Amino acid sequence: MGIVCRVDPQDLKAGDHIFSYRAWYTYAHHGIYDEENDIVIHYTRTQPESLSHPPTEPASGGCDICNYQPKAERGVVACCLDCFLNGNSCRSSSLNRFVYGVLPFQFLVSRIGTCSLDQSDAPEVVVRRARRMLIGDDDFGEYHLLDNNCESFATYCKTGKRLSFQAESLKSRAVFLKDKPFSFQNLKTTVAGMVFGYKVVVMINNHYLS
């Protein structure tokens, strides 16, 4: 049976790795909860939007609670929980807590990007890492969808290791789909790739267990 990640905002604790699904559950956005300041520290794109799109003017004002301006702020940023959840009013149904230290069978049957075999560091260590990157004492580098993203940031804050389970799964599936035209046979191969991606992530996790 898979793990349960959904969490009520009132049950959040310092250093929690939280995430919220976007675009009909196709991907998730991750961050670290700073209980003392009641904010979420997370990582966004560092590069400007594609030049194929017209430039977006920053909003004249940010969120009334935290002054966050998602179109204007880049890199490691902080915002209130509502902004992190993308303005979703049903906060308790869209907020999830990433689970660390799960058993291997739990990891195998749970959705990718919801849990890890690794143990989390102490909450004060997690929050300190996130805050240092927020104020610029540590640099998390340039954003990359597969190699350096919001999940990589959150797992780094929790464990000191950069790893994105969503990205590893996508990479493994891409290996199977490369240069192959669409067909029902290739669709089966895609499913096999997804299973393979799961196994790759498990192997990566076990590699880090020491």
Query: Which residues form the catalytic set?
Result: 29, 42, 150
Q: Of 112, 108, 101, 106, give the one whose Cα is nearest residue 19.
A: 112
Q: Which residues contact 203 (CB under 8 A, 6 or more apart)?
A: none
**DSSP assignment of 132-166:** HHHTTSS-----BTTTB-HHHHHHHHHHS----HH
The amino acid at 102: V
The amino acid at 23: A
Q: What Cα–Cα distance (Å) separates residue 82 from each residue in 5, 18, 92, 110? A: 18, 13, 11, 26
> 163 is written with which tokens?
């790893």
Give the rounded distance of the alpha carbon of 180 from its chain centre. Answer: 29
